[in-house]
Each structure stands twice: as structure tokens, then as C-alpha cells.
């Protein structure tokens, strides 16, 4: 990418898109084209076609998606499949029609089979059944990967697919029902502390293991890969390290300074037992994360206090 190139970041106000925008601005890029969901509905084929025809971006970061945690994924199954398929299809196809030089598609680690060997290697894709609770979202993301590869194979498009592990950071979603595990824990522990609630109950046994990557580290990886990576298939982006939900809860408890107790409700679902990314492909391409979990959670909690607590 050259500094004068026009760059479209789909989803620029979300956690991932805003991190990518900050990184690009830091690197001296300024020719951005962006639309909020209220001004451009990416599910609308005609609206997306008109936008690309008018703006003609050179590079596209496709970070827009309908996302959420276990509850949201399981409750809005049709929307998670339909909305994400529409967004991807419209952006990828119109990038091709308007000669976008390069597109990066952002997926998720939930694309891998529920019982796949650990750590998760890129070639484990489509080797077994998916986790039931987020299957519609995963199927949409798998379709996005395959669509990028199909446009590469048939039309020679330089479209790459990046699969981040669980993300957290600035501008995260702290909705009580629709957030992912780490921001949900930050909010729960903070509210318990503020309301002097003596016990925080967490779904599941606490034994599943999860890997977490700070969103600004993902943005660093995305910038690096957009400059240096041009292969079909997909590349995992993560830390290569994981932690139990119990240990994560204890870390959030410490950082939020909650003094009460934790109860794990084993009658609730755990989800996938483990989701650790094999990041050897990424490391061999020359990139490694820099923000460790405790530092990142402290940064995220500070952001939560600055942006969300004041809105209560």
C-alpha cells in the first residue's frame, strides 16, 4: 500500500476496524473512505454496488460483521448466517467488479471443528463438525474464506483471509447479553464491585481454555500481512498461548479489584473445550504479538471505565 492509496475499512467503528484505522493513521495513511451502518447497509446489494462504483477504493479491510458471544450466536442463528453472508458477498464481489488491488477478509477461530486437534492449524478447516452454538456464524465465515479463494482462482484477485483468535481491547462490546467472554467478565466484575454484590456466577465449569489477542496487536498483524502476505487459504493470528476461563476470571477479578467470590454454574454450557491457534505460519512470515494478557486486560478495563461507565 502507498500512502496515497484509497483505503476502505468496512466496520471502522468496531473494535477491529477502529484498531486497523488507528494503525494506518499511525503509519501515515490518510486517504480513507468509510461509512457507518446507518449510511451504508452492507447487506443491501444495490447500495454496496453504488458505493464501490462511486468511491473506487484501492484496498479493502473487511472487518464488518454481525458478532456476539454464545448467547447471541445461539439466539440469532438466522441473522448471524444471513447478515454475514450478505455483507461478505456484497463487499467481495464489488471489490472484484471495481478492481480493488487487495482485500483482507477477517474471520474467526470458530471456523474450526469443535473437536479438532490442538493447537488449531490452518489445514484443519472443514475436517469435522462445528461447535453447535455458533455454527451459523462459523459457516458464514468459512464461506467468506472460500469466496476469497474462488475469486483468486477464477479472476486472479489478491484477496487474503485472516483468522484472529478471541479478541478484546479498545471499543469492545460490553452488552450484558451479546458480548464475548472477556468483556462480559470485565463488566460483571466491575458492576459487582460497584454494587457490593458478594458473588459473581459464571457459566460453565471454568475448565475450557481460551486464547486472547489484544485488538491493537491484531491491527499490527493485519497491516503487516496486507504488506507482505499474498497466499490463498487462511492465516491464523493469535498469541499461541491460552488460559482457562477460571484463570481468566481470577485475572479480571484482580484487575477490577473485586473482593467477592466466584461461582461456576456447571449446568450451563462450556462451549468448545479448547481453542488454541497454531500461529507457526504467522511467525514464519515474520510477525509476533507484543501485548500480553494481563497488560491488555488492564488497558481494556481502563477503556471500559473511560467510555462505558460514564454512560450508565
Query: Active-site positions?
Result: 137
Full-model pTM? 0.92
Q: Return all residues near 75 (Cβ < 8 A) that are at least 6 apart.
A: none
180 marked among binding-site residues: yes
11 marked among binding-site residues: yes
Q: Which three cell numbers stand for residue 110?
A: 470458530
17 marked among binding-site residues: yes
pLDDT at 75: 84
Q: Which three cell numbers stand for residue 272?
A: 468448545
Instruction: State whether CATH 3.90.1170.50 applies to domain 7-171+211-241+276-291.
Output: no
203 marked among binding-site residues: yes
DSSP annotation string for the chain: --TTS-EEEETTTSHHHHHHHHHHHHTT---EE---TTT--TT-HHHHHHHHHHH--SEEEE-------HHHHHHSHHHHHHHHHHHHHHHHHHHHHTT-SEEEEE--GGGS-TT--SSB-GGGTTSSPPPGGGHHHHHHHHHHHHHHHHHHHHH---EEEEEE-EEE-TT----TTT--HHHHHHHHHHHHHHTT-SEEEEES-S--EE-EEEHHHHHHHHHHHHHH---SS-EEES-S--EEHHHHHHHHHHHHT--SEEEEETTS---SSEE-B--HHHHHTT------HHHHHHHHHHHHHHHTGGG-
16 marked among binding-site residues: yes
Domain range summary for the chain, segments of one domain joined by +: 7-171+211-241+276-291
13 marked among binding-site residues: yes
Q: What is the pLDDT along the chain (312 residues), one digit of tens a residue?
A: 999 999 999 999 999 999 999 999 999 999 999 999 999 999 999 999 999 999 999 999 999 998 777 777 778 899 999 999 999 999 999 999 999 999 999 999 889 998 899 999 999 999 999 988 889 999 999 999 999 999 999 999 999 999 999 999 999 988 877 778 899 999 999 999 999 999 999 989 999 999 999 999 999 999 999 999 999 999 999 999 999 999 999 999 999 999 999 999 999 988 778 889 999 999 999 999 999 999 999 999 999 999 877 655
14 marked among binding-site residues: yes
Amino acid at each position: 500500500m502507498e500512502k496515497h492509496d484509497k483505503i476502505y475499512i468496512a466496520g471502522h467503528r468496531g473494535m477491529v476496524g477502529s484498531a486497523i484505522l488507528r494503525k494506518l493513521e499511525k503509519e501515515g495513511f490518510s486517504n480513507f473512505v468509510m461509512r457507518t451502518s446507518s449510511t451504508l447497509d452492507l447487506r443491501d446489494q444495490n447500495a454496496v454496488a453504488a458505493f464501490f462504483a462511486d468511491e473506487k477504493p484501492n484496498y479493502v479491510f473487511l472487518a464488518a460483521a454481525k458478532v456476539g458471544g454464545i448467547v447471541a450466536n445461539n439466539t440469532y442463528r438466522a441473522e448471524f448466517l444471513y447478515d454475514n453472508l450478505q455483507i461478505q458477498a456484497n463487499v467481495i464481489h464489488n471489490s472484484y467488479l471495481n478492481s480493488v488491488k487487495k482485500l483482507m477478509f477477517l474471520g474467526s477461530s470458530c471456523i474450526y471443528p469443535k473437536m479438532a486437534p490442538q493447537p488449531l492449524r490452518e489445514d484443519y478447516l472443514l475436517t469435522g463438525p462445528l461447535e453447535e452454538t455458533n455454527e451459523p456464524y462459523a459457516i458464514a465465515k468459512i464461506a467468506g474464506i472460500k469466496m476469497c479463494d474462488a475469486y483468486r482462482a477464477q479472476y486472479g484477485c489478491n484477496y487474503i483471509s485472516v483468522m484472529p483468535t478471541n479478541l478484546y481491547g479498545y471499543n469492545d462490546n460490553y452488552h450484558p447479553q451479546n458480548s464475548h467472554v472477556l468483556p462480559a467478565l470485565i463488566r460483571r466484575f466491575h458492576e459487582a464491585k460497584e454494587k457490593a454484590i458478594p458473588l459473581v456466577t459464571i457459566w460453565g465449569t471454568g475448565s475450557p481454555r481460551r486464547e486472547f489477542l489484544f485488538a491493537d496487536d491484531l491491527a499490527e498483524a493485519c497491516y503487516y500481512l496486507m504488506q507482505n502476505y499474498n497466499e490463498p487459504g487462511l492465516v491464523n493470528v493469535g498469541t499461541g498461548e491460552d488460559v482457562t476461563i477460571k484463570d481468566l476470571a481470577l485475572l479480571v477479578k484482580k484487575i477490577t479489584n473485586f473482593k467477592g467470590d466466584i461461582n461456576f454454574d456447571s449446568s450451563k454450557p462450556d462451549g468448545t473445550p479448547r481453542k488454541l491457534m497454531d500461529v507457526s505460519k504467522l511467525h514464519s512470515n515474520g510477525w509476533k504479538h507484543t501485548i500480553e494478557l494481563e497488560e491488555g486486560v488492564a488497558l481494556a478495563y481502563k477503556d471500559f471505565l473511560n467510555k462505558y461507565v460514564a454512560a450508565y
